[in-house]
Amino acid sequence: MKFLNQAPRFLFFTGKGGVGKTSIACASSIELAAAGKRVLLVSTDPASNVGQVFGISIGNQITPVAAVPNLSALEIDPQAAAQAYRDRIVGPVRGILPVSVIKGIEEQLSGACTTEIAAFDEFTALLVDGALTQNFDHIIFDTAPTGHTIRMLQLPGAWSGFLQDGKGDASCLGPLAGLEKQRTQYAAAVDALADAQKTRLVLVARAQAAALREAERTHAELSGIGLTQQYLVINGVFPAAETAHDPLAQAIFQREQAVLENLPTALRGLPTDLIELKAFNLVGLAALRKLLVCVNSENHSQQGNNFDQVTNAPSLASLVDDIALAGHGLVMLMGKGGVGKTTLAAAVAVQLATRGYPVHLSTSDPAAHLMETLHGTLAHLSVSRIDPHEVTETYRAHVLASKGAKLDAAGRAVLQEDLRSPCTEEIAVFQAFSRVIREAGEKFVVMDTAPTGHTLLLLDATGAYHRDIARQMGANAHFTTPMLQLQDPKQTKVLIVTLAETTPVLEAANLQADLRRAGIEPWAWVINNSVAATQVTSHLLKKRAHNELREIETVAAQHASRYALVPFLKEEPIGVELLLQLTSHLPQPHLSQGSLI
């Protein structure tokens, strides 16, 4: 693989959620370790599943992977990092300041801004702390989905500039309290990221137009902050040998080849590797060792299977029927990146709008492509996107026009500096999210959320806001906050989207547990792009369909109170007509459920 030739010390794997970054990062770590290199694999994803892939518990400390000599791993746990960060700040003054003051500081440090700063602190230490990483030849970063990665990689520059200019005031006083001492570390992190001899960025994508457009944007944005040493890996490419006499396989192959022939211009000059789609789930060492080699020429033996749960599985149409009964409400689609939340959110919204209900379809995902998915307009349907940059600029302008109008020149300058802090975005995005979901009292609001890590950070901000309002209003007061709306099953239906694969199902189960801890009970699960629900003859697709059965049964029997199964389509569901097919009760002529028996 080109991206591993003469690998530098730091390797970053990034890309749109669900393209296989974690699997490729793990497989690369194994290969370098097998070559005698001492490797540290680090996940900076709030929704990390590196431990699940290796089948071991890793956590927020450097842990040797016993089955792989020379390999250790670390998962930067944002919540644990935030707690340690809070302890460092509050600990020295505990017992000195009044309890009420300590409580106020802890509340100030309870938001998502503190969580991100704390995780960033650990991230930069790995780049520049020689004592911490001196025992390793390579440090491989399995980064979060693209939006979070860009923010994480921009932070060294943003924070070092922020500190250099002396910015900051009340809104970030708590979270920023521990940063001043890190000025030298952040400057060194910027230098390490921009040094092509030390750092290589591997853009991971699928042979899909949306994933490659996202890779193109990431390429441009990260080049702009100095990460010029970039490689492209296109994962899960369907092999030509598997297309004979299988219409679905042929359709997938032709669709992908057309995309590969029309690579975005900016990506064509990058060193590029193609990794073939594998028949097996990428969990465990045996599977990971096969990921970077071609193994699809082997014969995939297929035993007889019972596909009853596929044949009898509820459809997405049945879920939409139940959603429509209320006449209005908030529908939130959540899940791991790359499982198809944007497509399914658009399908649900289009179906409800076609029935005559007013619908607002919105997204809080920085990498979402709602308008490209809809590819048109529809009566009763409005579409919006919570763009972090746009809503932050709007929020700044509003604060300056209202609060700033009452200040003198010096006070206004201080306010402007405060509003330039990296924490301002959190407040702005949260307010935009709150405005959108308030509409659900009169219409349907369908929310395509960001990948899991982003979503949990957003919900953390929502919860912090709820706690603050509750404290101010008192125990006996009656009030409504976004969190109360999310917790009310009469107002909100959360649909967890997954694929019938081991890692996405585990990720979805973890998300469900986190939501339940926040007092939010998921309403249904949707298993998307199921090969087992289609008619196939390709050995590779048959094997993948067979592997899906256990995951479908796990969802139906253990995780979901209700669920729906969405079959893999020959055509990408882009445009109103194809989106409606996903939620139609009518049989689709190219699908034959249970036909693999």
The residue with greater pLDDT, 32 or 575, is: 32
Which strand (E) or helix (H) includes residue 308?
Answer: helix 308-311
Q: Of 15, 16, 17, 23, which one is the catalytic site residue? A: 23
Window from 19-33, 200-214, 371-385 with minimum mean pLDDT = 371-385
Active-site residue (options: 15, 45, 365, 418): 45
| For range 107-131, the mean pLDDT | 73
Tell me whether strands 492-499 and 329-334 are parallel, antiparallel or unpaired. Answer: parallel
How far out from the chain centre does Cα 434 lie? 21
pLDDT digits (tens, 9 = 90+) for 297-313: 445 454 445 555 576 78
Q: Strands 138-142, 199-206: parallel, antiparallel or unpaired by DSSP?
A: unpaired
Query: Considering 14, 22, 124, 363, which one is annotated as catalytic?
Result: 22
DSSP characters for 166-233? T---GGGHHHHTTTGGGHHHHHHHHHHHH-TTTEEEEEEEESSHHHHHHHHHHHHHHHHTT---EEEE
Q: For 389-417, what is the mean pLDDT?
A: 85
Distances (CA, A) of 292 to 2, 212, 275: 11, 20, 7
For the question of residue 45 being annotated catalytic, the response is yes
Task: Respond yes or no: is residue 327 known to be catalytic.
Answer: no
499 DSSP assignment: E
Pairing of strands 563-567, 524-530: parallel
Annotated active-site residue in 14, 16, 21, 492: 21
Q: What is the H or E stretch that residue 385 is in?
A: strand 381-385
Q: Which of 20, 174, 335, 340 is catalytic?
A: 20
| Residue listed under structure tokens 């619908």 | 359
Is 83 or 450 the better-scoring residue by pLDDT? 83
Active site residue 503: yes
Residue 441 annotated in active site: no
Instruction: Note if 18 is an active site residue.
Output: yes
Instruction: Yes or no: say if 374 and 349 are a contact pair by the CB < 8 Å rule.
Output: no
| Of 207, 236, 244, the residue nearest 538 (C-alpha) | 244
The three-state secondary structure class of 531 is helix
Query: Model pTM?
Result: 0.77
Domains of the chain: 2-291 (3.40.50.300), 308-582 (3.40.50.300)
* Cα–Cα distance measured from residue 354 to residue 317, given in angstroms and rounded to the nearest whole number: 13
Q: What is the mean pLDDT of the chain?
A: 82
The distance of Cα 68 from the centroid of its chain, to the nearest Å, equals: 28
Please report the pLDDT score of residue 35 as a whole number: 95
Asked if 421 and 162 count as a contact pair (C-beta separation under 8 A), the reply is: yes
